[in-house]
Structure 1
């Protein structure tokens, strides 16, 4: 993906007599420009080669010297203590980066590696018995970014919203509505009224556990097709889905398929038939299960196909949905984006289908994410501790509007820009964290224009758009890159050149935060360039034209990266 880095890896791995993959994983950027462009730390090689790290570095540098000298891409190699430092041919490297961006344009970063392949991504999938809270943002934002990254890399993507419209929550809601619901209030404002009923039921059941049977009986009636239960259930689902789709419109998120759990409740018999045919299904206390082994080979928690009441389960509905997706979409990769509490569930689903001889189950992946708290307090719908996402977005927009009024009161379309910045700030705050980490959300932190935040990226993008506006003429795509080579220019070029590799890794590991980290690094180097190197006031016209070409490359890659994360890219702020 980066021929300069590829050459370094090949030459150093040959010199060290180590696998190229080991060298590639160790390769780093020196902390000081004077040391070189790339460095190989030799600390971890000491055990393998049984030498002092400094001696290893010197031996590798000596052995690599002739190949480096003969290279048209690499300028020099030198040992510095336990490091092997390599310098690039500056003009050749910057020229390669700018030529690649010029040739590929907005598709720079993609090697079209997904061409001819299909990926299905199950994300967001809110429980429609509840309002869309800040906690729902995690799966929505992460899944949407995974979708966009795969699509950018050439995959045919199918985004699936497998919303929760069945199961115990709806049994509780049906019971609560019939016991305490006010039909007129619920009809007038269904989402908050139904939330209040849901919370009340869970409060009351702690005092009177017998209420659980009220929920179970209504769920059985729903499964049996009772007209009253089905009518109420459809009303609840329609109200929840309408509200969710409104939020998706605000976030700019779309799906290619909407199918809830209820769409697969009637497939129970076919699922059971599959496992009966394989001799795997057995009765246990009235329920139907498939026995499984845990990671140590001991008997683990089983996969329940049918409850003792005769109703479908989360397992059986997910299995039916997965079989449908393979038939319908013939996917090459299937990704589930849910919180890490569902890790056991997906291990059970995958293991159960593997036991049944489903060969393609190894194409299915669970991309779990950590939990979100709001200012340190864990969120819980049942206990009524939840923060409505739209409220957070509105607050973010309002705070942004005030910041704009203070810093740039004459900004055109200020309200629209405030909306773009506020929503993008919230989205970036989610996807910028490593997926598996638990996060604590703070609105004040995510709207910081100076920290590692969404507004910082958007500000840098707008700053570079401003440079191009003030330049006033078209960017010369043939401007001579050999006129560049200042340390700040090399740092920017190095960051730009890493973009394809970052995207490939983000796709491979379903990890959008790699893109977020890359963008912060690029923006940081871009702002240093802005402060260290004159662009518009450069005296030499050829140097100015070359720097403008570099500025335009930064602007384009920032825009691409932010778009992949689901962010907006205002040109003025």
Structure 2
């Protein structure tokens, strides 16, 4: 039972004109703590009771003052200010966390499936920093979905189809070297892709050759297919290294090519329902009724487009997973595209399209500018991760050179720093990355949260937590420093719920920063391993609760928590 649930239940005993749920929704947090922990606005009872809110607040104060369910109640104008029973609720919160462990804040499984389209890099191109956001935001949303009782299906919708592969094949046939490509596949293929665009500026006919190659690929040409399979296999090997570092896994890898044999059915269905119209030789679905440009379904040469493949993918996912929601973690520049796909599906009569949600996000910027693979201005994610891991290793050598498993801890810190730096930002904001800043042990960083967790683990070891007997320690100690920390711990389940329903991992990230700050303030003011055995045990119960929530919060973000740093 949350603190708001407790308060609403107690109020419902003396207020019968509102349900517990309505009472809970009406509760407010006063502007400062001296006015109480929660406040009930009596305006909402005035019409029913035919009394002024001020008079109602006074009467409620009288009824509650004689009970022991609150430490204190005060009528202040039209508000009833409530001071919660701190010891009772402190014991309740800590007990719930210690009993539930990592399940604290979890919702019972519903069985509903949620496919989540995330990461989706393009084959034959390096895994750049630009792909980081979809990967880590999508993974965090998937973890949060699971915590909220859903079954997430992580789908890596690889960019392994489209005209760009025709361009790459053109470049390989004209300027490629098989030995060089086999030695360093992604580097060489990316160089060829960049070269193609440089040459195409001088010779626009190259674009026609690229389209022709892709048309051959769509038609099953053996040479084109062999090249495409080679490019794809080499890319997946490189991508797997990144996913292993990020500790991200997938349930399915059906890239765009998977839907190649499923697109004609979409075209036929659109034709049957007379939704396809010709526009400058191409086939489109008119969306003027929605104030949108038409959705392109087929090019002049009959080649498919992103919309065709996404329509086929949406139908496949619905028939395969019978989803409650279908999520697409893709940059905000694709917002119009997803709106068009949804509207086409609705015009086809598929009401379930309303359950498809685009989760947009901003870009990662380099010196304030968008990164571009075409122009060769790519910051490789693998290189960034290696840099952060090396920097973390140097920090460990400087601050704790005797630490065991330094390599492993450095990797956890370095990778965690990159992930947290991304997820502490609202996903709609653009992110400028700064390796030195994200690895700091102070401030709003991943290492700060990890270090707080490690510090708490050290206290548990020194206090012999593993040997501790079950007791009912005195939770009324340290009250001056304890309450903010208890309230924050108690908020964790609602934070987890809100972060998922808003598809916003930064809600959880910001929460962890606040929790770490409150714990470090408590640590700075209270000698945890002092006093009587009972007092030490009470404090260590609290410390253990903090470690449970910090570790689980970081796990939901896709970050590991080392016990020593």
- TM-score when normalising by structure 2: 0.92
1:179 aligns with 2:180: no
1:508 match: 501
Aligned with residue 533 of structure 1, among 520, 526, 529: 526
How big is the shift at 1:446? 0.6
| Partner Cα separation in structure 1 for residue 120 and residue 210 of structure 2 | 23
Alpha-carbon displacement from aligned partner over 1:175-205 (angstroms, at most 9, x marks no partner): 1111211221111101011111111112222
How far the C-alpha of 1:477 sits from its partner, in A, is 4.6
Structure-2 change in CA distance of 1:181 and 1:363 (3 Å): same
What is aligned with 1:111? 107
**1:92–1:77 distance in 2 versus 1, CA, 3 Å:** same
**In the alignment, is residue 2 of structure 1 matched against residue 2 of structure 2?**
yes
1:468 aligns with 2:460: yes
Q: Which runs of 5+ in 1 are unaligned?
A: 50-55
Change (3 A) 1:293 1:479: farther
- When structure 1 is superposed on structure 2, of 272-281 and 393-402 the one drifting more is 272-281
Normalising by structure 1, we get a TM-score of 0.91
Which of 78, 86, 89 is the matching residue for 1:90?
86
Shift of 1:121: 0.7
Distance 1:470 1:150 in 2: 36
**Which whole-Å deviations, capped at 9, do the CAs of 1:120-147 have from their partners, x for residues lacking one?**
1110011113100111110000001111
1:152 to 124, 147, 154: 147
* SS of equivalent to 1:266: coil
Alignment partner of 1:359 is 2:351: yes
3-state SS, counterpart of residue 283 of structure 1: strand
Structure 1 range deviating more: 68-77 or 193-202: 68-77
The aligned runs of 1:115-154 (5 Å cut-off) are 115-154=110-149
Q: Distance in 2 between matches of 1:64 and 1:237?
A: 70
Deviates more, 1:469-478 or 1:366-375: 469-478
1:523 aligns with 516
Give secondary structure in 1 for the equivalent of 2:155. strand
> How far 1:408 moved relative to its partner?
1.3
Equivalents in 1 of 2:26, 2:428: separation in Å? 21
Does the residue aligned with 2:287 lie in a helix, a strand or coil? Answer: coil
Residue pairs, 1:293-332, within 5 angstroms? 293=288, 297-298=290-291, 300-332=292-324
Q: Shift of the alpha carbon at 1:59?
A: 6.6
| CA distance in 2 between partners of 1:2 and 1:216 (Å) | 60
**Is the 8 Å Cα contact of residues 4 and 93 (structure 1) preserved in structure 2?**
no
8 A contact 1:372–1:441 mirrored in 2 = yes
| 1:554-565 mapped onto 2 (5 Å cutoff) | 554-565=546-557
Structure 2 CA distance for partners of 1:150 and 1:548, relative to 1, 3 Å? same
Aligned length: 559
CA 206–477 in structure 1, closer or farther in 2 if over 3 Å, else same: farther
CA–CA separation in structure 1 for the residues paired with 2:23 and 2:364:
35
1:367 Cα deviation after fit: 0.7
- Correspondence for 2:250: 255
For residues 39 and 398 of structure 1, do their structure 2 counterparts lie closer, same or farther at Cα, with a shift above 3 Å needed?
A: farther
Against the structure 1 CA distance between its residues 476 and 41, is the aligned structure 2 distance closer, same or farther, given a 3 Å change threshold?
farther
Note if 1:491 corresponds to 2:487: no
Aligned to 2:204: 209
Equivalence map 1:207-286=2 (5 Å)? 207-286=202-281
Over residues 298-355 of structure 1, what are the superposed CA-to-partner deviations in whole Å (9 max), with x where a residue is unaligned? 4x21122211111111011111111111111121111110100111111011111011
RMSD, aligned CA: 2.9
Q: Which of 354, 376, 383 is the equivalent residue of 1:384?
A: 376
The answer (yes or no) to whether the contact 2:27–2:38 under 8 Å persists in 1 is: no
Stretch moving more, 540-549 or 344-353:
540-549
Tell me the distance in 1 between the aligned counterparts of 2:425 and 2:147.
Answer: 21
Structure 2 regions of 5+ residues with no counterpart? 47-51
* Equivalent in the alignment of 1:414: 406
